[in-house]
Structure 1
Amino acid sequence: MTPNAAPSPSGSPGPSRRGFLASTAVATAAVAGGMPLLAACGGADKGSREGTTSGKDAKRLLPAYVAGNVVTPDIPSKNGSSMGFTAKLDVATLKTSVPRKLGKGGKVTVMSPFWGSPPKQDNPYYTSMNALTGVDVRWRNQDGTTYDQKLGAVLASSDVPDVVVVPGWNMMGKIPSAVISKFADLGPYLSGDGVKDYPNLAAIPTDAWQRSLFGGKLMGLPMPASYVTNIVPLYRQDVFQREGYRVPTSPDEFTALCKDITNARAKRWACGDMKWTAFNIWGVFPGSDKPLWWNLVDGKLVNRVETDAYLEALEWTRKLFAAGYVHPDFKLGKSQATDPSAKFAAGEFLIYNNDISSWYGQRASQATQNPDFRIWGMDLFGPDGGDPTLWAAEPAGIFAFVNKKAPESVVRDVLAVANVTAAPYGTKEWMMTNYGVEGTHYTIKNGVPVKNDRGNNEVNNAFVMIASPASTLAHPDFPDITEGQVAWQQKMGGFTRKTSFWGLQITEPSRYANLASNFEQLEDDIARGHKKISDMQRAVSDWKRQGGDKLRDWYRKLLDENGPAAN
């Protein structure tokens, strides 16, 4: 079963924080190499470097890629998918990927987001991991829901821990500039063949390392991810089969199905907020990372909010709400604070979009009390019912940074820890990192490791944050889910393209940091009928006038000097 996998604690239709971790911390896959690199570009902005690092400069900085050969996946990665493992684990025959400790016994402090109640420092999981790595890691866990506030305060102070974890969703405002000024250049240790001292780090895909370049230096230890969209339209397969519902293959079929399903008097609605699925159906450029908002279209650099597809997706979503097909919790905004999984499991609505980890998490959580429960992922389709045009997500989304003031001994100890936490699925190091100590944190039942309450508390959002292996999906308790998830990614990956700045870590000029901050709320207001499409059109005009057109010129200069980031 996937470590840390759980239904998203937020009903938000977009990627959830915990959901992202659940789908990536198992190991997360990008395809190795394969991305044409650009030339360097950037100017100064109050001492930090704007722009990006690519081309010859990037090639010089990136670690050599050396594929791991310790374990072989049951389902290899294809079209940007995760790799999959379906076989049950035999703990007695797990492979060893780190034959000798590289840590020298130093003390390393780590600040990282944590969701839930942080365990005590000297718990059996932390002490066992410290013994395995040879490093005394001391955790400064912070509340994940308010982590951006703590992160900003710490980076503005002189008291910066040895390692600081920064999720991509917190990489806003002044944080990228702080990263460049506060953290160490890992290039002298990892660039080129240097990474070969740390074989599990060498097996991290090059695309993920490319995302770890900040200000012309290799600075981040990445958590890789599949670049196929992680938002899946999930549906109650068991109810569909029982009621004879057909899985839709076009927006019109989806709407007709929603009408068939919805019976408010019987407390059954068709779906949740389908905004993120609508964006995928209409081929809207990704909204997760600001550089992905831009793409070269017929010779012109276009932002996602300027496209007809963006407005059409919002209008379709609005119509689902207006027709009464969406569960009232989503319309009233309760979905922002309440996990919708219980009402989905109860059959109050039959379709919703969520992180791919919920595909497994929902099935696992219902296995005992509702054994007939079945969940599956719908294939995405285009607005005319044909093949969709999908856009790649970033190949890494969480990074660990080392304090610029740390001595070489501390840097080496951090890399020793990372070499263990980046061990692939099916190894002793992976098992310890993701499950802890057998008998203390988990037991083996029918070849499947199952965490107990202590395991769920202690072996949670910790060492996986320092570095992770290539994206992996592994559910030996439900191998059909693993097969379904990987097959969905592989099929959708075949329709996935890369926007002009995909895979690059780009630092925008700080004057544009908050330029687009109101769009997501306006999207939700339009979907719920509180605002109109014309309000979005006015907002786009204001955005262009207030700096959007100048930001376009800035990105266009970046593109003209370097060429597209991916083919």
Structure 2
Amino acid sequence: MNTLHIDPRITRRNLLRGGLGLGAFAVLGLAGCSNEGRGGGALATNASVALPTYIPFDGIPLDLKGTNGVSDTMLAYPANPKALTDGPPGDGQDIRALAMTNTSIPPSVDRNEFWQALNERLGCSFAVSQVLAGDFTDRFQTAVAGDQLPDLFTILSGQVPGLPGLLAERATDLTDLLSGDAVAKYPFLANIPTESWKSTVHGGKIYGIPIPRGPVSSQVTYARQDLLEAQGITAQVSSLDDFHALCKELTSSSGRWALGQVPRPYLRQMYEVPNGWTEAGGKLVSANEHEGQEAALEAGRRLVADGLVHPDAFSVEQPQRKTWLVNGTITLLDDTFSAWSDFSNFPISEEFRLAVVPPPLAEGGGTANIWLAGATHNITSISAKSADRAEALLGVLNYLAAPFGSAEHLFKNYGIEGVHHELKGTDPVLNDKGRSELQLSLKYLAEGPWVNFLAGSPDVAQAQYDAQTATVPTAVRNPTEGLFSETGSRRGPQIGETLMSVETDIIAGRKPVSAWGPAVQAWKRGGGDKIRDELQKALAERES
């Protein structure tokens, strides 16, 4: 099999419980809303903002330096990590935060040694209210409506209507504190690449810090390589027919299915469907209108009709699918490059190994290109009510963004040696207590640049690097990344969900594939064409 080892994540509200990843939202036109606030009349104003100066941290040598978008990689954790800060950050006052999570909720602070140790290091009580990713948008809107946003809050790209106005009213303007060389006061935030900061600029002001991800948020399809080898399966996945045949071979009557969900982005990539939008002759065209859509939907429908997809695929969240992959109930699952580390929170066996299965062109003759994710996963803003504490809160976020290999990073990600992790050589390997207590969503509040690494498994880190090297440099970008459509922010989710409902009905066999065309026309009339026009204007302004 033409595969490479690696990693998975993602869920927004399950909506129709179809388990779509972010790549699918791009196809449905919602990606035009991502990295909000940089389109329309505000674009020129945004362009005048001096983004934070990029000051890369180079104090810790890297084993494998990424190029052409590939993430840096470490095969072993540095020995005896040194502290890069001196004393607690912040002002000693309590901090409240609202953040998403893709994992189970950890024990409360009174039963959580890591949380207690975090409070001690921060010199305050750090209260994090966590919400499952699928429910986060609703919870965020409720907090906004009730004027209950805490000191720090995360914002997911493309899911907040009227975001520029909301931030102007509810978030602290951080421009003077972070613009240009001012960011040097917060060296770990200055270590975040410039491209990611673009998503924090709205209405000509900086309203948060970015969580940089970029290529590692791109979706791929994984296989349980150890299970394939145990069955002696060496089939080449060189076309859609080969993939379908592989799924049949991996499905048995003894309670094992090939797939945990229909790999919709993967199938679309086989048919070279664009990443959200494509630009042709100076005009934007939605990927919803691409000629390969119906063929990809038919391929998904066949997988379901032939019983190759778990029967509960449409009714569960992604963490459950990961559990199926771990226990061998399924063999294939699509998720993101960055999600490999999530499996360290599962009771996996020593034999457990994943492989990335690159998408072939549907008719054969080569490998299709994956879709490149945006540079930023989410942003973290400071409440306008906490504006007088902005510098102190930025100090805390700076602490949480400490670079890989530092003592601060080691604690944030692995807790206390002998309590939450044990050393395997120089690598901190989480134990059950660590896997449970560390899930505080800190990585969604502040994070430095992504580094491929899995404690105790240098082969996996190497495989991550190899898989990204093979796929990321040729990955397809969304030309509207960084642009804003007001219609997209307000109407996009509604019309996108309606279109997704039709898509799910087609794949589940409740509607014919021919229902897609009329549904796309309804999407266009309902706001899709207006979204295109707004993005087209923003694109022209950006390029002028």
Q: Measured at CA, do residues 407 and 503 of structure 1 come closer, stay the same or move farther in structure 2, by a change above 3 Å?
A: closer
Matched, 1:427 2:406: yes
Give distance in 2, aligned partners of 1:238 and 1:139: 38
Q: Give the letter for the 1:202 counterpart.
A: A
Matched, 1:195 2:183: yes
Please give the secondary structure, in 1, of the residue aligned with 2:443: helix
Give distance in 2, aligned partners of 1:345 and 1:562: 45
Q: Measured at CA, do residues 161 and 144 of structure 1 come closer, stay the same or move farther in structure 2, by a change above 3 Å?
A: same
| From 222, 225, 245, the counterpart of 1:234 | 222
Give distance in 1, aligned partners of 2:524 and 2:8: 40
Please give the secondary structure, in 2, of the residue aligned with 1:516: helix
Give distance in 1, aligned partners of 2:229 and 2:106: 42
| From 312, 330, 337, the counterpart of 1:356 | 337
**RMSD of the TM alignment (CA)?**
3.2
User: Structure 1, residues 351-408: CA drift from partner, whole Å, max 9, x if none?
Assistant: 232233554555884644xx33432111222234323233321111222111123243
Please give the secondary structure, in 1, of the residue aligned with 2:410: helix
Deviation at 1:412, TM superposition (A): 0.9
**Alignment correspondent of 2:353:** 374
User: Does structure 1 conserve the Cα–Cα contact (< 8 Å) formed by 2:226 and 2:351?
Assistant: yes
1:173-212 alignment, distance < 5 Å: 173-174=161-162, 177-212=165-200
Give distance in 2, aligned partners of 1:102 and 1:156: 31
| From 483, 490, 501, the counterpart of 1:521 | 501
Matched, 1:455 2:473: no
Q: Measured at CA, do residues 145 and 300 of structure 1 come closer, stay the same or move farther in structure 2, by a change above 3 Å?
A: closer
Percent pairwise identity: 27
Give distance in 1, aligned partners of 2:406 and 2:18: 35
**Alignment correspondent of 2:307:** 324
Q: Give the letter for the 2:530 counterpart.
A: K
**Alignment correspondent of 2:53:** 64
1:217-366 alignment, distance < 5 Å: 217-227=205-215, 230-242=218-230, 243-264=232-253, 266-272=254-260, 273-286=262-275, 293-330=276-313, 333-336=314-317, 339-357=320-338, 359=340, 361-362=342-343, 365=346
Please give the secondary structure, in 2, of the residue aligned with 1:444: strand
Q: Give the letter for the 1:271 counterpart.
A: L
Please give the secondary structure, in 2, of the residue aligned with 1:449: strand
Please give the secondary structure, in 2, of the residue aligned with 1:518: helix
**Alignment correspondent of 1:15:** 21
Q: Measured at CA, do residues 106 and 230 of structure 1 come closer, stay the same or move farther in structure 2, by a change above 3 Å?
A: same
Give distance in 2, aligned partners of 1:529 and 1:474: 41
Q: Measured at CA, do residues 505 and 107 of structure 1 come closer, stay the same or move farther in structure 2, by a change above 3 Å?
A: farther
Matched, 1:79 2:68: yes
| From 125, 128, 142, the counterpart of 2:114 | 125
Deviation at 1:210, TM superposition (A): 0.8
Please give the secondary structure, in 1, of the residue aligned with 2:268: helix
User: Does structure 1 conserve the Cα–Cα contact (< 8 Å) formed by 2:161 and 2:490?
Assistant: no
**Alignment correspondent of 2:142:** 153
Deviation at 1:235, TM superposition (A): 1.4
Please give the secondary structure, in 1, of the residue aligned with 2:147: coil
Deviation at 1:147, TM superposition (A): 2.9
User: Structure 1, residues 507-544: CA drift from partner, whole Å, max 9, x if none?
Assistant: 54665342322122322221121112221111111122
| From 494, 501, 524, the counterpart of 1:544 | 524
User: Unaligned stretches of 5+ in structure 1?
Assistant: 18-36, 44-51, 287-292
What's the TM-score once normalised by structure 1's chain length? 0.81
Q: Measured at CA, do residues 143 and 501 of structure 1 come closer, stay the same or move farther in structure 2, by a change above 3 Å?
A: closer
Q: Measured at CA, do residues 432 and 16 of structure 1 come closer, stay the same or move farther in structure 2, by a change above 3 Å?
A: farther
Please give the secondary structure, in 2, of the residue aligned with 1:401: strand
Deviation at 1:188, TM superposition (A): 0.6
User: Does structure 2 conserve the Cα–Cα contact (< 8 Å) formed by 1:207 and 1:395?
Assistant: yes
| From 29, 40, 43, the counterpart of 1:42 | 40
User: Structure 1, residues 298-338: CA drift from partner, whole Å, max 9, x if none?
Assistant: 332101111112222212211222233333333xx344587
| From 412, 417, 421, the counterpart of 1:438 | 417
Give distance in 2, aligned partners of 1:190 and 1:60: 11
Please give the secondary structure, in 1, of the residue aligned with 2:214: coil
Give distance in 2, aligned partners of 1:508 and 1:354: 29
User: Structure 1, residues 427-446: CA drift from partner, whole Å, max 9, x if none?
Assistant: 00101212223333333244
Q: Measured at CA, do residues 237 and 469 of structure 1 come closer, stay the same or move farther in structure 2, by a change above 3 Å?
A: same
**Alignment correspondent of 1:167:** 156
User: Structure 1, residues 474-499: CA drift from partner, whole Å, max 9, x if none?
Assistant: 11311111111221122111221322
Please give the secondary structure, in 1, of the residue aligned with 2:297: helix
**Alignment correspondent of 2:29:** none
Deviation at 1:348, TM superposition (A): 4.4
Give distance in 2, aligned partners of 1:12 and 1:561: 37
Q: Give the letter for the 1:42 counterpart.
A: G
User: Does structure 1 conserve the Cα–Cα contact (< 8 Å) formed by 2:82 and 2:407?
Assistant: yes
